[in-house]
Amino acid sequence: MATLLEEIVKSVELWLNLIKKPQPFVDPNLDPVLLVPGIAGSILKSVDDENGKEERVWVRILSADYKFRTKLWSRFDPSSGRTVSLDSKTSIIVPEDRYGLHAIDVLDPDMVIGCECVYYFHDMIVEMINWGFQEGKTLFGFGYDFRQSNRLQDTLDRFSAKLDLIYKASGGKKINIISHSMGGLLVKCFMSLHTDVFEKYVKNWIAVAAPFQELWREKLVDGNSRTILETYPPLESVEIFKEALSSNTVNYDGVNIPMPFNLEILKWANETRKVLSRAKVPSGVKFYNVYGTNLETPHSVCYGSKETPVKDLQELRYFQPTYICVDGDGTVPAESAKADGLNAEARVGIRGEHRGILCDHHLFRVLKHWLRADHDPLYNPVNDYVILPTVFEMERHRENGLQVTSLKEEWEIISEYPDTQDDTPNRKPLVSSMTVSHDGGNRSSRAEACATIVVHPQKEGKQHIEMNALSVSVDA
């Protein structure tokens, strides 16, 4: 009750200007951070080219399907590599409010109930402000039209301009980039095509959950119809897609538009793949990779079955696929996220879902350490625990011509993840010992040391470790 009264009094005092609203902590020593979202991670607005009226079309709840079809459906223009809206009177823009953070924070700002489902970088932004980052000084966002190619020149030019703006706004400090999902491919394309600019402005790049890297069919065999399992690598799959989508259409504004497999997009994608394969991290930049684990994640797909084979490839798109899954974040397989092909300072796996990982406190601890916002030299981001030395005692003495040294050291390992074994209270400490000896060939250089290590069971997130060691050497 007292707490509620305090809140009421504080609210009234703020309203009457009797007290000033507390200002957030700002750490002037932090380097600037740029957040780059993945596919569908930016607010998109449509602009009527005739009257200039703006309207948010991604993300929205009311009339979402209608607006998506009429404003965002698009076609690929091979001459420019640009995705062009089917509505010729509409342009798509990304809002730049709050230094680019508005577009990647809450994707539907009008949503009140259940708004957590449209959070993108929201939790991370709140967390980083608590660490001392400041919007417009050390914290920025880069939203983009995710329908476009990751190497579209307009997008890369905007990205270059954003880096220059941040560099100047922070007083010439180099930038930490945190990308999520497909945003990692955009950053990698930019790094490959504009290495000099990347090296000039970027200090660290942290990629989070980036996607860096069969078919049952009835077939004639020896003149007889048999059901066999056929697998198709990427190049051979093209012919399958061409035939399966040869009669595919989409209805737009009452008109059926042919939508076969687009070989022009494939050509453009192949060039993008070459750009990505050439990417190297500049010598002055550090690269870190965070990937999600512990969830079943689709890796490959199978259409049809032995009982219901695919007889006509044009029917393929109506078959319910079966996915072969591997470990990952539910969207990106861990092996894909780890296959960055770059020289990484560290690769850290975090148990979590593809988008949910952005509000995971394990990720926050890792980022805080890499961004040097925690000032904790004892934290290990790879293993996600802190080792605290609690006891250190050493004693030396001579006895009968021997140098005797005894050492006692103890540590407390603090981990976020508790021991999941049910028999923890009944488990006994693990005791181990080791011996090391040195024989230099003569009596005066002989030495021997032995140590006993006791590892106690984890309790309430803490694990106690003891070491007692003794060394004896000839006192020369």
What are 316-350's pLDDT values in tens digits? 888 888 898 999 999 999 999 999 999 999 999 99
Query: Is 331 a member of any domain?
Result: yes
Q: Do 400 and 331 share a structural domain?
A: no
pLDDT on residue 225: 58
Amino acid occupying residue 26:
V
Question: Minimum mean pLDDT among 154-168, 227-241, 401-415: which range?
Answer: 227-241
Query: Which of 380, 398, 418 finishes a domain?
Result: 380
Active-site annotation holds for 375: no
Decide which of 427 and 195 is more confident: 195
Number of structural domains, the chain? 2
pLDDT on residue 9: 59
Active-site annotation holds for 181: yes
What are 117-131's pLDDT values in tens digits? 899 999 999 999 999
State yes or no: pLDDT of 18 exceeds 60.
Answer: no
What are 363-397's pLDDT values in tens digits? 999 999 999 988 766 666 766 655 666 677 888 88
Determine which one of 87, 145, 329, 360 is catalytic: 329
pLDDT on residue 466: 87
Q: Do 406 and 283 share a structural domain?
A: no
Sign for the pseudo-dihedral over CA of 175, 336, 156, 100? negative
Q: Do 418 and 337 share a structural domain?
A: no
Contact indicator for 187, 289 with CB cutoff of 8 Å? no
**Helix (H) or strand (E) run with residue 243 in it:** helix 234-244
Contact indicator for 144, 157 with CB cutoff of 8 Å? no
- Helix, strand, coil content of the chain in percent (nearest 5): 30, 35, 35
What is the pLDDT of the chain when averaged over all its residues?
A: 86
Query: Is 207 a member of any domain?
Result: yes
Active-site annotation holds for 456: no
Query: Which of 365, 380, 395 finishes a domain?
Result: 380
Query: Is 12 a member of any domain?
Result: no
Q: What are residue 306's phi and psi, to 5 degrees?
A: -65, -35
CA atoms within 13 A on the CB side of 246: 10
Contact indicator for 391, 413 with CB cutoff of 8 Å? no
Q: Do 240 and 100 share a structural domain?
A: yes
Q: Do 367 and 399 share a structural domain?
A: no
Determine which one of 42, 354, 360, 362 is catalytic: 354
State yes or no: pLDDT of 132 exceeds 90.
Answer: yes
| Residue 436 structural domain | 385-474
Q: What order of strands is seen across the sheet that includes strand 90-93?
A: 54-58, 44-48, 90-93
What are 135-165's pLDDT values in tens digits? 999 999 999 999 999 999 999 999 999 999 9
Q: Do 247 and 179 share a structural domain?
A: yes
Decide which of 339 and 61 is more confident: 339
Contact indicator for 275, 300 with CB cutoff of 8 Å? no
Query: Is 222 a member of any domain?
Result: no
pLDDT on residue 441: 60
Decide which of 200 and 230 is more confident: 200
pLDDT on residue 442: 61
Tell which residue, 76, 423, 104, has the closest CA to residue 266: 76
Query: Is 127 a member of any domain?
Result: yes
pLDDT on residue 2: 47
One DSSP character per residue, 67-133 reads HIIIII-EEEETTTTEEEESSTTEEEE---GGGGTGGGSBS-TT--TTGGGGBSSHHHHHHHHHHT-
One DSSP character per residue, 5-28 reads HHHHHHHHHHHTTSSPPPPPP--T
Query: Which of 380, 401, 417 finishes a domain?
Result: 380
Determine which one of 181, 336, 362, 384 is catalytic: 181
What are 296-322's pLDDT values in tens digits? 999 888 888 888 888 888 888 888 888
Q: Do 398 and 376 share a structural domain?
A: no
What is the rounded CA–CA span in Å between residue 452 and residue 432?
6
Q: Do 317 and 405 share a structural domain?
A: no
What is the rounded CA–CA span in Å between residue 80 and residue 152?
9
Q: Do 274 and 155 share a structural domain?
A: yes
Decide which of 106 and 395 is more confident: 106
Q: Do 361 and 334 share a structural domain?
A: yes
Contact indicator for 245, 262 with CB cutoff of 8 Å? no
Assigned token pair, 387:
């080792």
